[in-house]
Amino acid sequence: LFTACGDDEWGNNNPAMEHIYYYGLGNIKYPGGNELQYNVKQGETVAIPTYFFSAFTRPYSPVVTYYTSPIPQEKNKPMPVQLVCGTDYQVVDKDGKVLTPDNNGGYSMTWPNAIQGIQNVYIKALNGTKGSIRVLTFDPTKKMDQTDVSTTTIVKTNEYEVRAFTENYFVTVNIK
């Protein structure tokens, strides 16, 4: 019996996967999880790289959404300090201009022509409370199931679908 390498369902030769992309956060030093943390001092800005994975150039430009959220309370642990966007930190662009979230609390990022690449999320610590937040590439109000790929969809249009990874979808930003 012979099998062809081109029949790989995850390969670039699978028409069902040609318009499905992935968006996530790097975690080079800590593979396999969401352990990556960034530290930023009061009044300073930290750049957090996000990654768009694609093997093609397309006539459309996928738009994804990223979020910030408080650190959730863990069972049997005290409630962490709840930092407030606009009071303790801001989401800004590369030039320092304050970004306004959409109605769901997300910030849009466009990937021109679906070309693979890296774009940064910028968090500016204001002279407010010290504590931690999360930056996420997946809506914090939704739940992902590692056994159900449909729960990883970030955005789906008639042209494309962008999915999150079940790991590496958030990092922690510690405001010092």
Q: How far apart are the first and last CA of the chain?
A: 61
pLDDT computed for residue 128 by the predictor: 84
Q: CA torsion, points 34, 39, 40, 45, in degrees to nearest 10?
A: -50
CA distance 2 to 88: 61
pLDDT tens, position by position, 120-133? 999 999 988 999 99
Mean of pLDDT values over 26-54: 85
Name, of 31-35, 61-65, 164-168, the range with top average pLDDT.
61-65
pLDDT computed for residue 66 by the predictor: 97
pTM of the model: 0.87
Residue 132 or residue 74, greater confidence: 132
pLDDT tens, position by position, 83-116? 999 999 999 999 999 999 999 999 999 999 999 9
